[in-house]
């Protein structure tokens, strides 16, 4: 099974051939481009998992190749490791400013380059499993944590939703909504640092839904701390009039004025005692029920959640 696809952009045949043979022996798929334009064309047809990019190329320098890749949405996420004979600090800074992930100078140790490639790919794969707005683990990373619960005792899950978030986003826009999500992720981290432990897990399920996995005995203090932090600071995301009133004024489909409370946390709790759970699907079903119960009773606008 291939460990990934590497694009080597290097016009020196001896170096590119050596890298091709070495990385193929490490179970990578390797393609080689001798020119910058060829590398860009290859990326348009099939995305590599990492690019080893020489700066000195016959048609365009590696900086320009990096700039093109970072400027295109489809290729902006690909890890780039610069490979060059230059050892000037200014050259390294320029490459990193353009978005390169790493930098290695010729002559190089191929084992070191292998580790840099492996680390760059691991970081990229991890980032693809995190929420782009909050940077918190999502998707299968949350599922992995839930699977670990099946082998533990005295665990607890805090399921956090934001009551009133959809109305807030409709009034202030999606950029303000993303600021609220980042704010929520930040105070979750502060809460864990204050009353939790280093073993606690915070995940972003999606939208305005978050999850915290911790020892069951810590949950009451965590919930109290989280609510205090949110309630005391969420007002900064509203305009001063809404803060002074303590609610938003919106209009329903009939054009009638409706008062909507400022956002509140909706917290659901599931613990090992709510089981037994046969698999993670049963745990996620229980957390979904806890979420629905926590989100009820929030707004005079029926579909605001």
189 burial (CB, 10 Å; 0-12 / 13-18 / 19+) is: middle
- Please state the φ and ψ torsions of residue 6, each to the nearest 5 degrees: -110, 130
What would the two tokens of residue 244 be? 């002074």
The 10 Å Cβ neighbour count of residue 278 is 9
pLDDT, position 90: 67
What is the SS3 assignment for 4? coil
Rg of the chain in Å (alpha carbons): 25
What is the residue whose two structure tokens read 């490490």?
26
Q: Return all residues near 22 (Cβ < 8 A) that are at least 6 apart.
A: 110, 114
**Using the 8-state DSSP alphabet, how is residue 234 labeled?**
G
Residue 209 and residue 161 in contact, taking contact as beta carbons nearer than 8 Å: yes
pTM of the predicted model as reported, rounded to 2 decimal places:
0.70
Residue 43 and residue 50 in contact, taking contact as beta carbons nearer than 8 Å: no
* Start-to-end CA span in the chain (Å): 44
- Determine the CATH number of domain 5-128: 3.40.50.2300
pLDDT, position 181: 97
The 10 Å Cβ neighbour count of residue 14 is 8
pLDDT in tens, the chain (305 residues): 678 899 999 999 999 999 999 999 999 999 999 999 999 999 888 889 999 999 889 999 889 999 999 888 678 889 999 987 766 666 677 777 777 888 888 888 999 999 999 999 988 888 778 888 998 999 888 988 888 887 888 899 999 999 999 999 999 999 999 999 999 999 999 999 899 988 899 999 999 999 999 999 999 999 999 999 999 999 999 999 999 999 998 888 888 888 999 999 999 899 988 888 888 889 888 888 887 787 764 433 333 33
**Using the 8-state DSSP alphabet, how is residue 263 labeled?**
P
pLDDT, position 299: 37
Residue 166 and residue 304 in contact, taking contact as beta carbons nearer than 8 Å: yes
Domain with CATH 3.30.70.270 in the chain: 140-295
Bridge-based pairing state of the strands 264-271 and 155-163: antiparallel
Residue 50 and residue 78 in contact, taking contact as beta carbons nearer than 8 Å: yes
CA count, 13 A, side-chain hemisphere, 12: 13
Domain with CATH 3.40.50.2300 in the chain: 5-128
pLDDT, position 290: 82
What DSSP element (H or E) covers 178? Answer: helix 174-195
CA count, 13 A, side-chain hemisphere, 130: 14
Q: Return all residues near 103 (Cβ < 8 A) that are at least 6 apart.
A: 81, 82, 84, 92, 95, 96
pLDDT, position 71: 86
CATH: 3.40.190.10, 3.30.70.270, 1.10.240.10, 1.10.760.10. Which one for 140-295? 3.30.70.270
Cα 38 from chain centroid? 31
């Amino acid at each position: 099974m291939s460990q990934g696809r590497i694009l080597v952009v290097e016009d020196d045949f001896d170096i590119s051939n050596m890298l091709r043979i070495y990385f193929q022996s490490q179970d990578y798929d390797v393609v080689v481009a001798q020119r910058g334009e060829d590398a860009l064309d290859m990326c348009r047809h099939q995305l590599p998992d990492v690019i080893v990019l020489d700066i000195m190329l016959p048609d365009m320098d590696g900086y320009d190749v990096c700039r093109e890749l970072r400027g295109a949405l489809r290729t902006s996420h690909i890890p780039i490791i610069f490979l060059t004979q230059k050892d000037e600090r200014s050259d390294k800074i320029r490459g990193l400013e353009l978005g390169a992930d790493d930098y290695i100078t010729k002559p190089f140790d191929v084992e070191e380059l292998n580790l840099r490639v492996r680390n760059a790919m691991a970081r990229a794969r991890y980032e693809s499993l995190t929420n782009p707005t909050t940077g918190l683990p999502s998707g299968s990373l949350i599922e992995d944590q839930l699977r670990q619960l099946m082998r533990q005792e005295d665990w607890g899950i805090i399921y956090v939703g934001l009551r009133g978030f959809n109305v807030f986003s409709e009034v202030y826009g999606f950029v303000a909504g993303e600021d609220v999500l980042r704010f929520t992720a930040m105070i979750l981290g502060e809460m864990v640092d204050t009353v939790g432990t280093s073993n606690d897990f915070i995940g972003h399920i999606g939208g305005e839904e978050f999850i915290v996995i911790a020892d069951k005995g810590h949950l009451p203090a965590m919930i109290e701390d989280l609510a205090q932090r949110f309630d005391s600071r969420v007002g900064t995301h509203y305009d001063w009039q809404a803060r002074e009133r303590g609610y938003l004024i919106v209009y329903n489909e009939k054009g009638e004025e409706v008062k909507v409370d400022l956002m509140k946390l909706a917290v659901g709790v599931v613990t090992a005692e709510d089981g037994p759970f046969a698999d993670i699907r049963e745990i996620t079903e229980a957390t979904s029920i806890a979420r629905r119960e926590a989100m009820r009773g929030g707004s005079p606008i029926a579909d605001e959640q």
